[in-house]
């Protein structure tokens, strides 16, 4: 029995360590959004104020819902974002301003982000070139408490000590405020666009004082970059448009690539299919649906199904819903309905 308990103790220790390592790696990565085409001003801050409207967008992304266990709080990743942006004029130049609030929870880590963005849009004869700057703060908190729920056959409560034997593992709930700097740029024509965004280029650090009085410093976020683009293909039937799009995300150590194809009907309703790939062999396919409920009120939904890697173990799915509204501030609108391509 003692041998079995020792084996189970080592098994659970390894399992928890494995999960912690994966959660930490995920928590230090940039938030992934499947409906990135509806959230251009969120994923690339140079797009703030690019439209002739005040835009508001809300998104909630919940991952790995197929993982079922006995924990009351399994720690599945949940990301929520809310952003507002509007066009402004500065010294007679076309600019934009926006705010972004984002909550990112995974495992025992919670990140609350807030930033302000300013962008300049240089309008040319047949294209627009934009540059953006974002300044903000990330509030990072970790809760080291554990709850394994009801355990049969043995009491494992002694495995989770109230005091850590490792100074690097916090016992209490440390919190830190981190300054974050981002840059972005885009080039857009009536048929295509390409954008590049860099976040946390200053590589914010957290410092923590251990129980023994020693200070530990470590980088919280690596700098992240994403390159995105889309191309609008006019079909023989004028009621339909086809739009292939892609986004490449990287921290220069790992990457993920999204490839999507979306069909639009009357520029108000859409459905699409996507594929997400990464070098860790974690692949997923995405189904996209959306509609314009009323003029300028858009609702989008994405279903991600994992096909490989850790995601396939529990057959999990990820769900994402996006709601956006645009309030046109011009007296005359250029068109009755605005395509979701240009949100």
First-to-last C-alpha distance (Å) of the chain: 62
Q: Where are the domains of the chain?
A: 2-342
Q: How high is the pLDDT of residue 62?
A: 87
Q: How high is the pLDDT of residue 325?
A: 94
pLDDT (tens digit per residue) in 121-169: 999 999 999 999 999 988 877 766 544 444 444 444 444 444 555 555 5
d(CA 307, CA 285): 8
Q: How high is the pLDDT of residue 36?
A: 86
| 109 in Cβ contact with 27 (< 8 Å) | yes
Q: How high is the pLDDT of residue 15?
A: 39
Residue 313 CA, distance from chain mean position: 23
pLDDT grade, residue 17 (50/70/90)?
very low
d(CA 128, CA 125): 8
Q: Which of 241, 288, 235, 247 is nearest to 263 (CA)?
A: 241
pLDDT (tens digit per residue) in 22-81: 433 333 456 778 888 888 999 899 999 998 899 999 999 988 776 554 444 456 788 999
Query: Hey, which residues does 4 pair with through a beta bridge?
Result: none
pLDDT (tens digit per residue) in 179-191: 889 999 999 999 9
The 3 state secondary structure assigned to 272-291 is EEEEEECCCCCCEEEEEEEE
What phi-psi label fits residue 16: left (phi over 0), alpha (psi between -120 and 50 degrees) or beta?
alpha
Selected residue with higher pLDDT from 48 and 9: 48
Q: How high is the pLDDT of residue 279?
A: 75
pLDDT (tens digit per residue) in 72-119: 445 678 899 999 999 999 999 999 999 999 998 887 778 899 999 999
Q: How high is the pLDDT of residue 210?
A: 57
d(CA 48, CA 39): 10
Q: Is the pLDDT of residue 307 over 80?
A: no
pLDDT (tens digit per residue) in 209-242: 555 656 666 656 688 999 999 999 999 999 999 9
Q: How high is the pLDDT of residue 316?
A: 63
pLDDT grade, residue 21 (50/70/90)?
very low
Q: How high is the pLDDT of residue 228?
A: 94
Architecture of the CATH domain 2-342: Beta Barrel (2.40)
Q: How high is the pLDDT of residue 91?
A: 92
Q: How far is CA 60 from CA 154, 159, 260, in A?
A: 39, 35, 20
| 42 in Cβ contact with 35 (< 8 Å) | no
Output the pTM of the full model: 0.77
What are the phi and psi torsion angles at 37 (to 5°)? -70, -25
pLDDT grade, residue 314 (50/70/90)?
very low
Neighbour count for residue 231 (Cβ, 10 Å): 15
pLDDT (tens digit per residue) in 239-297: 999 999 999 999 888 888 999 999 999 989 999 999 988 876 567 889 999 999 988 89
């Amino acid at each position: 029995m003692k041998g079995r308990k020792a084996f189970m103790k080592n098994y659970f220790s390894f399992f928890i360590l494995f999960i912690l390592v994966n959660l930490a790696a995920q928590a230090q990565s940039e938030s992934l959004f499947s409906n990135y085409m509806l959230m251009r001003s969120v994923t690339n801050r140079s797009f703030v104020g690019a439209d002739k409207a005040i835009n508001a967008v809300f998104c909630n992304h919940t991952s790995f819902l197929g993982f079922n266990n006995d924990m009351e709080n399994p720690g599945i990743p949940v990301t929520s974002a809310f952003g507002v942006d509007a066009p402004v004029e500065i010294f007679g130049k076309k600019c934009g301003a926006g705010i972004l609030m984002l909550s990112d929870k995974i495992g025992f880590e919670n990140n609350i982000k807030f930033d302000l963005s300013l962008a300049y849009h240089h309008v040319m004869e047949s294209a627009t070139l934009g540059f953006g700057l974002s300044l903000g703060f990330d509030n990072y908190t970790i809760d080291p408490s554990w709850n394994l729920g009801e355990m049969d056959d043995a009491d494992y409560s002694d495995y989770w000590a109230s005091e850590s034997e490792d100074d690097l593992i916090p016992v209490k709930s440390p919190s830190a405020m981190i300054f974050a700097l981002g840059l972005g740029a885009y080039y857009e024509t009536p048929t295509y666009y390409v954008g590049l965004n860099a976040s946390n280029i200053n590589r914010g650090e957290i410092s923590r004082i251990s129980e023994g009085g020693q200070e530990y410093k470590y980088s919280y976020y690596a700098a992240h970059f994403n390159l995105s683009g889309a191309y609008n293909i006019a079909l023989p039937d004028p009621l339909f448009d086809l739009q292939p799009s892609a986004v490449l995300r990287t921290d220069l150590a790992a990457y993920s690539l999204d490839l999507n194809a979306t069909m639009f009907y009357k520029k108000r309703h859409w459905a699409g299919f996507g594929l997400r790939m990464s070098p860790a062999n974690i692949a997923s396919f995405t189904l996209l649906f959306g509609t314009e409920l009323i003029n300028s009120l858009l609702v989008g939904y994405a279903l991600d199904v994992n096909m490989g890697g850790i995601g396939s173990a529990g057959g999990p799915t990820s769900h994402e819903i996006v709601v956006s509204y645009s309030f046109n501030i011009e007296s005359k609108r250029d068109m009755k309905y605005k395509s979701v391509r240009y949100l």
